[in-house]
Structure 1
Amino acid sequence: MRTKSLLSAATMLVAGLAFAAPALAQEADPKPFDGLYVGGTVGFDAQPNDVGSSILFDRNRDGNFNELVTTAAGANAFAPTAAQPGAGFCNGRATSTGALTGCTNDKDNISYSGRIGFDKQYGHFVIGVVGEFGKSQVRDSVSGFSTTPASYVMTRKVDFDANARLRAGYAFDKTLFYATGGGAYAKTKSSFATSNTANAFADNGSRHDAWGFVAGGGIEQKLGRHFSIGLEYLYNQYKDDEYRVRVTQGTAPATNPFVLAPNTGGTDFKRSDDKFRWHSVRATANFRF
């Protein structure tokens, strides 16, 4: 609902300013979208539904995350039982540090960026390049609940992100409709939390490089010779699969599922979903030289 409300409000704003533009732009400008510009964006980012996300385990630490964590009796330690019907996984953050009480939704939030670009206008057609550097404040978690009971939460967010993309569009006087897309980079920050106080846990570092792409489209409206505003949608996708957590024995007994023989050295965790994705709806403002 928040994304729809933002989109509706932004659309009304751009439409109103487009209607008023002739009064604001008195100078003749045969190529209003030609040349260098700098600007910025502010918007709202929302993540798609990632139902089915889970935590994967590598029991023998051979790099293949395709094994079950089992109890001394041979039962799956992350499968529901009569005593612990809530064991399993959810696509969110555990709502308690102990028993199986469920998860909160992933956190959608605002984003902002600065940009520099260059366009070339040929009649009604406009082609150009744009680069951005900014930050999205989305947060994406997945949780596992064992029959112990205990919770295990893996969370990721964005330290900063950048992209370089092409855009191409069609200008009606001082209004430009365009499509855009290109490569993107994000520095992600991951974390791990658990209510398990018996085992010992260590990760391979919180910050990792993630590469991907962005694609979308928008509308830009000139207001005078040098200023423009707009509304833009971008789909963002990054491959983010480097974060690992290793659990070892700690003070747990030798019958602990994570250190059962013959693999007594411990178990590695990773997320099942290696794509970090979100939708962005942004207001833009540019100064054209």
Structure 2
Amino acid sequence: MQTTKLTVTLIATGVLAAAAPIAWAQDGAKTWAGPYVGVAAGMTNIADDHETIEFDTNLDGEYGDMVNTFAGANAFSPGFCDGGANGRTPGEGCAKQREQAGIGLRGGYDWQFGNWVFGVVGEVSDAKFQDSVTAFSTTPANYVFTRDIENINALRAKAGHAMGEWQVYVTAGYAQADIERTFRTSNALNSFTATDGDDSDGYQVGFGIEQRMSEHWIGGIEYLRTSLKDEPAVVVHAGPSANTFNSNPFLIVNPAGTDMRRTSDKIEIDTLRISLRYQFGG
């Protein structure tokens, strides 16, 4: 439902951008060139990628193995969910990622050549949200991988077309995010250790439309898609403990245990927001 709302809003934004040259006159135009500072606020949503968890039962570094019970049945037949488990079984549901409000500070510089405007913009965004995936075993038990994403930073280039008091533009560039990765499980039998991960980087692409509201103040609407690479992937090792036996599903193939990780190393984020900036000069 959230993705649908975001898509509808983006379509409406695109229609507005396309109609701007017709709907607004070009008289009274001022230059778009010069330095500026501003803020942007809106909604951020992680794209639904139907992610699961994959396993390496013989510890050969190749994932995609099935974890079986001593009787040969799939130990994870209850399945997976996009979100953090509320309990030990799928029937108790998962807390899926919701849209989150966020705000960002930005600064940049634009150059104008006729009706064409080119620039660079740097931004720091206070975005705080979670991206989780859960596996359920027949025990029953849950196994939850979570990424806590904060502070998305970006440095982008811009290219726009000015139409009097209006400008439409596209933007693209480098993005980086602070990410904390955690793992939790209701399995109290095995031992679990997790590798560490680093902050993620990637890119941003988007488009927007702006209107000059006065000599120095400019407002706008903007959509961004942020794509981050989660490397190195966090690997959780399910090993033996004083409470386990060789019939434990994680130990059947290799007594040393089983490695598990998320199937996706990408984080795709959609952001729709309004912006307000103060342009020096103008």
- The TM tier, using the shorter chain, reads 0.7 to 0.9
Pick aligned residue for 1:168 from 140, 159, 184: 159
In structure 1, the partner of 2:150 is 159
Distance in 2 (CA, whole Å) between partners of 1:62 and 1:161 is: 35
2:178 equivalent to 1:187: yes
Residues 16-51 of structure 1: CA deviation (Å, up to 9, x unaligned): xx9xxx9xxxxx6631x1011111211101222222
Post-superposition CA distance 1:216-264 (Å, at most 9, x none): 1001122222221111000111111421211111222221111225x11
* Aligned residue in 2 for 1:256: 248
Amino acid at match of 1:177: V
Q: Which residue of 2 aligns with 1:37?
A: 36
> Which digits, 9 at most, give the CA deviation of each residue in 1:158-178, with x for residues without a partner?
122211111111111121111
Residues 135 and 158 in structure 1, CA contact (< 8 A), matched pair in contact too? no
Q: Which amino acid aligns with 1:65?
A: Y
Normalising to structure 1: TM-score of the pair? 0.83
**Aligned mates of 2:49, 2:274 — CA distance in 1:** 26
SS of residue matched to 2:75? coil
Match runs of 1:1-289 below 5 Å: 4=5, 7=9, 30-31=30-31, 33-51=32-50, 53-79=51-77, 87-96=78-87, 98-101=88-91, 102-205=93-196, 207-241=197-231, 242-250=233-241, 251-261=243-253, 263-289=254-280
Structure 1 stretches lacking a partner, 5+ long:
23-27, 80-86
Segments ≥4 residues shifted beyond 3 Å: 1-8
Deviations 1:86-107 (A, max 9, x none): x1112222121x2331323223
TM (norm. structure 2) is: 0.85
- Give the match for residue 25 of structure 1: none
Q: CA deviation at 1:134?
A: 1.6
User: 8 Å contact 2:128–2:151 — kept in the other structure?
Assistant: no
* 1:178 counterpart SS class: strand
Amino acid across the alignment from 1:254? N
Which letter maps to 1:38?
A: V
Distance verdict in 2 for CA 1:238–1:176, change over 3 Å: same
- Whether the 8 Å CA contact 2:154–2:176 is kept in 1: the answer is yes
Letter aligned with residue 30 of structure 1: K
Answer whether contact 2:129 2:150 (CA < 8 A) is retained: no
Percent of counterpart pairs with the same letter? 38
SS at match of 2:199: strand
Whole-Å separation in 1 of the counterparts to 2:41 and 2:246? 53
Deviations 1:254-286 (A, max 9, x none): 21111225x111211110122111210011111
CA distance in 1, matches of 2:195, 2:154: 26
Contact 2:2–2:99 at 8 Å: present in 1 too?
A: no
Partners of 1:29 and 1:235 lie apart in 2 by: 31
Per the alignment, residue 83 of structure 1 pairs with: none
Q: Structure 1 residue 60: deviation in Å?
A: 2.5
Tell me how many residue pairs correspond in the alignment. Answer: 264
Q: Write the deviation string for residues 1-23 of structure 1: whole angstroms up to 9, x where unpaired.
A: 56748949x96xx99xx9xxx9x
